[in-house]
Amino acid sequence: MPAEERTERLPVWNDSGRVLQINEIFYSIEGEGLRVGEPTTFVRLARCNLRCPFCDTEFDRFTPMDIEDIAAEVARHPAEWVCLTGGEPLGQNLAALAGRLKEAGYKLHIETNGMIAPNPVLFELIDHWTVSPKCYPVVAGFARITELKYVVGRAFREHRVEEHRADYVYLQPESSEPRYVQKALEILKRHPRWRLSTRIHKTLDLP
Ligand code: SF4
């Protein structure tokens, strides 16, 4: 996808980040990757710079929310972890929100598609970095990546996995389709350090 198509839908605000476009805030368990099973409050930032054909997230709707209101909503839920997700969370200035939530004692997780270089301030604030690339390669500027999580579908290319950039590599079969589960299992035979990720929240019908 050409860069201009990828960027035209980004919010990318060059402001203080005191007010953010929020799609939803909800409590569930983390259903994917390394943190699977941990109770988590999800803050879904609106909008995305991509339009993946398999995307099942409705991210265009939003409410502008002050970070104090976001923190108050997060505090209603009994989770230690807060996951900043989207849409594409790095399409907005997250520094103030991440600082506010860190001050309140939360552990912070971010899930990004890896197409926007993070504000370096976030490296001090975010505990767990999930990069789930839908285009290759992941842009420069990620100081550390906890887990790279690839959707394995028709377009997935095994040789584009940037294993050296992350602590863990996960393969997640697209829409849990049996043919892609099989494809992921075959790839794992060649890469025994990589892991399979399924979406257990979908299986359990959780948000
Ligand atoms: S990057 Fe994620 S949120 Fe954005 S369109 Fe693709 S799957 Fe959906």
Q: Is 4 a residue whose pLDDT tops 90? A: no
- Residues of the chain with pLDDT > 90, as a percent, come to 80
CA 133 to ligand 1 centroid distance, Å = 9
What sign does the dihedral 152-154-156-158 (CA atoms) show? positive
The mean pLDDT value for 109-114 works out to: 97
CA proximity to 67, closest of 47, 82, 50: 82
Q: How many domains does the chain have?
A: 1
- Pocket probe for ligand 1: among 92, 134, 135, 202, the residue whose CB has the most ligand atoms within 8 Å is 134
| CA–CA dist 32, 15 (Å, integer) | 32
Contact 88, 47 (CB under 8 A): yes
- Encoded amino acid at 38, one letter: E
The mean pLDDT value for 121-127 works out to: 97
pLDDT tens digit sequence for 78-105: 999 999 999 999 999 999 999 999 999 9
E strand or H helix at 20: strand 19-29
pLDDT value for 77: 98
pLDDT value for 9: 58
Query: pTM for the complete prediction?
Result: 0.93
CA proximity to 29, closest of 42, 20, 16: 42
pLDDT value for 136: 87
- Pocket probe for ligand 1: among 50, 92, 112, the residue whose CB has the most ligand atoms within 8 Å is 50
Query: Pick the catalytic residue: 5, 15, 57, 63?
Result: 57
Residue 118 in contact with ligand 1 by CB distance below 6 A: no
Q: Is 6 a residue whose pLDDT tops 80? A: no
Containing structural domain, residue 112 = 3-203
pLDDT value for 10: 62
The mean pLDDT value for 109-132 works out to: 96
First and final C-alpha spacing in the chain: 30
Place of tokens 């969370």: 89
Q: Where do the DSSP E strands lie in the chain?
A: 19-29, 39-45, 63-66, 81-85, 107-112, 128-131, 145-152, 166-173, 195-196
- Tokens representing 1? 């996808």
| CATH, residue 187 | 3.20.20.70
